[in-house]
Structure 1
Amino acid sequence: MSEREAAIDHGGRVRASRSGFGPGWWRSRLLTVSLVAVFIAFGVYIVLSLAAAGEGLVAGIAAVSVVAITFIYLSPRAVPAKYLTPGLVLLIVFQLFIVVFSAWIAFTNYGDGHNGGKQDAIRSLVTTSRTRLPDSQAYPVTILDRDGTIHLLLTDEAGGALIGTAGEPLQVAGGAQFDDSGKAVALQGFETLTFAQIIQRQEDIVDLAIPVSDDVEDGDVRTADGRTAFVFQAALEFDESLDAMVNVQTGEVYANSGEGTFISAAGEELFPGWRVGVGFENFSEIFGSDFLTGPLLRVLVWNFAYAFLAVLLPFSLGTFLALTFNIRELRGRRFYRSAMIIPYMVPAFVVPLIWAGLLNPEFGFVNEVLLRGAVLQWFGDPWLARVGVLLVSLWMAYPFMFLITTGALQSIPDELIEAATIDGAGPWRMFRLIKLPLLLVTVAPLLVASFAYSFNNFSLIFLLTRGGPRSVESNIGATDILITLVYKTAFDSPTRDFGLASAYAILIFVVVGIVSVIGLRRTSRLEQYF
């Protein structure tokens, strides 16, 4: 065996060859190729599915991604990329894509009445405008199937049989079989569906519309129960030359408004509309003329105040407790330290629900026991509701601050403390000039992260107060922050406006980003000084 293939050490063991082909190389290579083959098969399926759905751009991006990942994991030289790729893919899918998609939505009118494209809106308007013709005969129906396509077999007044399906007008069904009542019940080459099969495919049957003839003005045949069909006619139709919807009964024209709706000369709009770009309209609505006097400014001020106090108060309490239980002469320090982190062990979504019961104005523990029967409307008064939110936030966050400040205090060299004591520094000066600066060097990045978390602490506000108490003028409450305002705008309003909600989300992203950058820069200055 040559030197390039293998070498034997003094113990008789085979060492890895210079070419890299060790004893287990073929096994690992086979496993790698097998996993990559499975990935390629899944990737090809995804690409073909996207292409079939008409998503050419997304399909192209997916195809390039599959090729790139395949090359990375089959190439022996791309070792660093093998470790970076999973994290990079997750970053793109769960972070960058969400940010880019939200940014795109913020510049559209996406929301109730504007969910789909223009063709979807036209189809919906035509479908909803269909009405049953008063003089329509009732056709006895038999549901047939051929190659997975539903057909309706109708019996007309003259006793003849007609058959049709979506996109194919009714035609005479020669050779149809009739029962004793004269109803057409079967046709050669078709399967007659049973009652159980009709129930399984009920939605497809109800949505089926069969043209009466090649002239669309003659209407469609539809059935609602699978037994009897009637002729329906749409009151609206789309005129491509005018780019407008026309009421065929009255002749009224609904022109394209350019804002995702059809509107008549009298100002009547047809809904649903469709999704279009609106530029900075959503941001203009946020920073409108009433911004300085409206409820949004109050929400923004409270959001900053809450995020700041939700960091300051737990940090202050956690630092005080850490200093207290760091005294070596204190007996039972380990027990007290363990007891301090009990609130941290309770799930975060359970704590607000528990405190909602404790702060209940009528039978809550706080009013009945701690305040000796006082009736404080913790969720009815705006300022008391804010105090309640801060109290619960303090209860949830101080154990975390206690843990990190305890660790930071224990990392301070004893020589510094002894030198300060010899120089005559008292406890306050020692804390202010030595311990606190060194603490901030360690925990400042965590304080910045805690501020960002508190700025977007949706679960606490929603589960405890739901943003209330609400004002009479608007849906915005006294404890609402921007993230709860996003939720209310998107899901808890008469007209769900996803475009405006996304604009709020972009505002939150910018604010948190600016505050984080400023905080981290000041943290680096602390490291230079101390």
Structure 2
Amino acid sequence: MSVNQTTTQAPAPPGEAPDRPVRESHARNWRGGGWGFVVKLVLMALINAFGLLVIYSAFRVENWFILVGMVVIVAAADWIYFSKRTIPLKYLLPGLVFLFTFQIFIFAYTAYIAFTNYGTGHAGTQEQAVEAALIQGERRVDSSPSYPLTVVQQLGVLGFAINDEGTVRVGSEEQPLQDAGEVSGGGAPSEVQGWEVVSRNELLSDPALQQQVVDLRVPVSDDPNEGSLRTRDAVTAAVYLSTMVWDEQAQTITDTTTGTVYHATDHGSFVADDGSALPAGWAVNVGFENFTRLFTDPELAEPIFIVGGWTIVWSVLSVVIPFALGLVIALIYNDARVKGRKWMRVVFILPYAFPAFMSALVFKGMFNAEFGVINDIFFGGANINWLGDPTLARIAVVWVNVWLSYPYWLLVCTGALQAIPQDALEAAEIDGAGKFRRFRSIIFPLLLVSTAPLAISSFAVAFNNFTVIYMFNNGGPAIPGAPFALGYTDILISAIYDISGVSGGRADYGLASALSIIAFLFVGIIAFFSFRQTRKLEEFQ
């Protein structure tokens, strides 16, 4: 038989078992492809279930951006993982989804917030602002009877069920009162169809639940001007009516006690003719107002200019000084004549092993004017206000950051020095070049080739080094007259934190987002031009 010929095995006659090789091949195909397909079905079922949950939630709150985005992601995942023509995308899709979710979406959402007045007093919709205004003016209706009350719940949502002259009426905060059958006698309903009765013992044993019941307001009808049902003792309820009257067509809220009329404005507030405004507003698009405020508002522009200028100085010093110090130490202990240089390197690298926030807190105590060891040991017990003086506070925080970051440059420069070709240095020495000449013409340029990209990234890290600034002095001392809690050692990232109101006080997320966009663009532009300049260094090799 020729070697190029192949043999085929005839199928087994009817009634006989097939040959073993065919049977084993089928078993392998079933075990490999079958179980793999089942696992894929389970994973895709979980992904689709999660996607449908997000889609439903986005639809309920009318967030069309997330709804459309999730529909596209789920549809793309189903098409890619159940198609045989999209094998490369099966590996690319997870990374693309994470890129979209954690990078593109966050940046796009931040940019969207930057063009709104979203913040304290403007955190919701106009409907929520109207509801808040009506609630603030609520008073019990004098003619309202006391209805026998039963506290009920449905799928974790609390509600009220009352006996209204023999008719059971039930509702929740989102669902106005509606009829739910009849009850005999004059007591509270003992059971309500579709609702679970909250027992008296359960109410008495749970203070948090009691507070929820007291805070609960059940609208009497779809018209907010007809008031809501409230209770003080979870036994009886009464109708409370607001002194504020909302006119949807005229877009006004009228205070019936004073006659003051508040008009809805384009800036998301209810403002009266005398200039007074209701505390509750809503978020609206304000265009470039947040960006222009940063440069035109006198109360805000000066503190932001101080913070922005210090941010640049801080970022440059946080790279140049640690780099220079790390390079000097690396040059010293790269010399083979130094005894015990390996152990000394370990000692100098120790600050790199300490958590940054702990080191900042320790130095904060050391720089304390009254009992800090810096004044006691190095300045003879002088009362130097390191944390209260703007200039001294900046010097102190730069020192702390140098102590934390120079070990990184020690490691980088040590590795870069050891990678420099020794034959080039020997040739320069033979030609008569001294140590300074060899360092200036050979060592330093070659060092910059490998360290320049790291310096650029370190500049970006220092530009956003929130931990040291916040933990050491919380950005202080304060800038007099600043509209937010801004200080002389604040950098843009900590200023954004203060403006966003996370640490307390008034929040202005729109302004904080606008400042975030500016900081991002600034770092991006610096990095772009810096990386272009580093290409010139590569020509040296």
Q: Structure 2 length normalisation: TM-score?
A: 0.85
For the pair 1:411 / 2:419, whether they are aligned, the reply is: yes
Quick one: which of 474, 488, 504 aligns to 2:498?
488
Note closer, same or farther for the CA distance 1:216–1:404 as it changes in structure 2 (3 Å cut): closer
* 1:235 Cα deviation after fit: 1.4
Give the corresponding residue for 1:307.
315
Q: Which moved more, 1:261-270 or 1:22-31?
A: 22-31
Give the corresponding residue for 2:16.
none
Q: Distance in 2 between matches of 1:442 and 1:478?
A: 35
For the pair 1:472 / 2:472, whether they are aligned, the reply is: no
Give the corresponding residue for 2:15.
none
Q: Distance in 2 between matches of 1:3 and 1:224?
A: 92
Note closer, same or farther for the CA distance 1:125–1:407 as it changes in structure 2 (3 Å cut): same
- 1:58 aligned partner, one-letter code: I
* 1:449 Cα deviation after fit: 0.4
For the pair 1:93 / 2:101, whether they are aligned, the reply is: yes
- Aligned ranges for residues 137-156 of structure 1 at < 5 Å? 137-144=145-152, 150-154=159-163
Give the corresponding residue for 1:209.
218
Quick one: which of 179, 184, 199 aligns to 1:194?
199
Q: Which moved more, 1:397-406 or 1:120-129?
A: 120-129
Task: Judge conservation of contact 2:361–2:471 (CA < 8 Å) in 1.
Answer: yes
Give the corresponding residue for 2:13.
none
- Aligned ranges for residues 37-436 of structure 1 at < 5 Å? 37-134=45-142, 136-144=144-152, 150-154=159-163, 160-161=165-166, 163-166=168-171, 174-177=182-185, 183-184=187-188, 186=190, 192-198=197-203, 199=206, 202=210, 203=212, 206-211=215-220, 219-288=227-296, 290=298, 294-436=302-444
Give the corresponding residue for 2:510.
499
- 2:92 aligned partner, one-letter code: L
Task: Judge conservation of contact 2:229–2:237 (CA < 8 Å) in 1.
Answer: yes
- 2:427 aligned partner, one-letter code: A
Task: Judge conservation of contact 1:291–1:297 (CA < 8 Å) in 2.
Answer: no
- 1:489 aligned partner, one-letter code: I
Q: Distance in 1 between matches of 2:313 and 2:339?
A: 38
* 1:452 Cα deviation after fit: 0.6
For the pair 1:508 / 2:539, whether they are aligned, the reply is: no
Match of 1:485, SS state, is helix
Task: Judge conservation of contact 1:470–1:476 (CA < 8 Å) in 2.
Answer: yes
Note closer, same or farther for the CA distance 1:191–1:4 as it changes in structure 2 (3 Å cut): farther
Note closer, same or farther for the CA distance 1:3–1:472 as it changes in structure 2 (3 Å cut): farther
Q: Distance in 2 between matches of 1:335 and 1:186?
A: 80
* 1:510 Cα deviation after fit: 1.1
- 1:283 aligned partner, one-letter code: F
Q: Distance in 2 between matches of 1:32 and 1:304?
A: 51
* 1:111 Cα deviation after fit: 0.6
**CA deviation map 1:300-339 (0-9, x unaligned):** 1111111000000000011111111111121212111122
Q: Distance in 2 between matches of 1:35 and 1:168?
A: 41
For the pair 1:452 / 2:463, whether they are aligned, the reply is: no
Q: Distance in 1 between matches of 2:230 and 2:534?
A: 70
Note closer, same or farther for the CA distance 1:26–1:291 as it changes in structure 2 (3 Å cut): same
Task: Judge conservation of contact 2:269–2:277 (CA < 8 Å) in 1.
Answer: yes
* 1:228 Cα deviation after fit: 3.0
* 1:43 Cα deviation after fit: 2.3
Q: Distance in 2 between matches of 1:3 and 1:78?
A: 35
Quick one: which of 441, 455, 471 aligns to 2:449?
441
Q: Distance in 2 between matches of 1:430 and 1:132?
A: 89
Note closer, same or farther for the CA distance 1:430–1:194 as it changes in structure 2 (3 Å cut): same
Q: Which moved more, 1:470-479 or 1:92-101?
A: 470-479
* 1:29 Cα deviation after fit: 4.3
Q: Structure 1 length normalisation: TM-score?
A: 0.87
**CA deviation map 1:31-80 (0-9, x unaligned):** 33432333233323333333344334422321221121233333444343
Q: Distance in 1 between matches of 2:316 and 2:537?
A: 20
Task: Judge conservation of contact 2:150–2:234 (CA < 8 Å) in 1.
Answer: yes
Q: Which moved more, 1:393-402 or 1:484-493?
A: 484-493
Give the corresponding residue for 1:8.
none
Q: Distance in 1 between matches of 2:7 and 2:490?
A: 71
* 1:191 Cα deviation after fit: 5.8
* 1:146 Cα deviation after fit: 7.6
Of all paired residues, the percent bearing the same amino acid is 36
Q: Distance in 2 between matches of 1:501 and 1:100?
A: 14
Task: Judge conservation of contact 1:150–1:205 (CA < 8 Å) in 2.
Answer: no
Q: Which moved more, 1:333-342 or 1:435-444?
A: 333-342
- 2:190 aligned partner, one-letter code: A
- Structure 2 residues not aligned, in runs of 5+: 9-20
Q: Which moved more, 1:468-477 or 1:353-362?
A: 468-477
Match of 1:476, SS state, is coil
* 1:269 Cα deviation after fit: 1.0
- Structure 1 residues not aligned, in runs of 5+: 6-12
Task: Judge conservation of contact 1:164–1:210 (CA < 8 Å) in 2.
Answer: no
Give the corresponding residue for 2:14.
none
Note closer, same or farther for the CA distance 1:195–1:400 as it changes in structure 2 (3 Å cut): same
Q: Distance in 1 between matches of 2:256 and 2:152?
A: 33
Q: Distance in 1 between matches of 2:75 and 2:135?
A: 43
Task: Judge conservation of contact 2:147–2:162 (CA < 8 Å) in 1.
Answer: no
* 1:205 Cα deviation after fit: 6.4
Q: Distance in 1 between matches of 2:196 and 2:343?
A: 77
* 1:454 Cα deviation after fit: 0.4
Note closer, same or farther for the CA distance 1:49–1:220 as it changes in structure 2 (3 Å cut): closer
* 1:135 Cα deviation after fit: 5.1
**CA deviation map 1:121-144 (0-9, x unaligned):** 112212222112345444443335
Match of 2:467, SS state, is helix
Note closer, same or farther for the CA distance 1:252–1:426 as it changes in structure 2 (3 Å cut): same
For the pair 1:524 / 2:524, whether they are aligned, the reply is: no
Q: Distance in 2 between matches of 1:405 and 1:247?
A: 71
Note closer, same or farther for the CA distance 1:472–1:64 as it changes in structure 2 (3 Å cut): closer
**CA deviation map 1:234-257 (0-9, x unaligned):** 112221221222334444322122
Note closer, same or farther for the CA distance 1:375–1:318 as it changes in structure 2 (3 Å cut): same
Task: Judge conservation of contact 1:318–1:405 (CA < 8 Å) in 2.
Answer: yes
* 1:386 Cα deviation after fit: 0.7
Q: Which moved more, 1:435-444 or 1:160-169?
A: 160-169
Task: Judge conservation of contact 1:379–1:468 (CA < 8 Å) in 2.
Answer: yes
Match of 1:350, SS state, is helix
Q: Which moved more, 1:197-206 or 1:340-349?
A: 197-206
Alignment: residue pair count: 509
Q: Distance in 2 between matches of 1:251 and 1:185?
A: 40
Match of 2:356, SS state, is coil
Note closer, same or farther for the CA distance 1:76–1:3 as it changes in structure 2 (3 Å cut): farther
Match of 2:287, SS state, is coil
Note closer, same or farther for the CA distance 1:22–1:449 as it changes in structure 2 (3 Å cut): farther
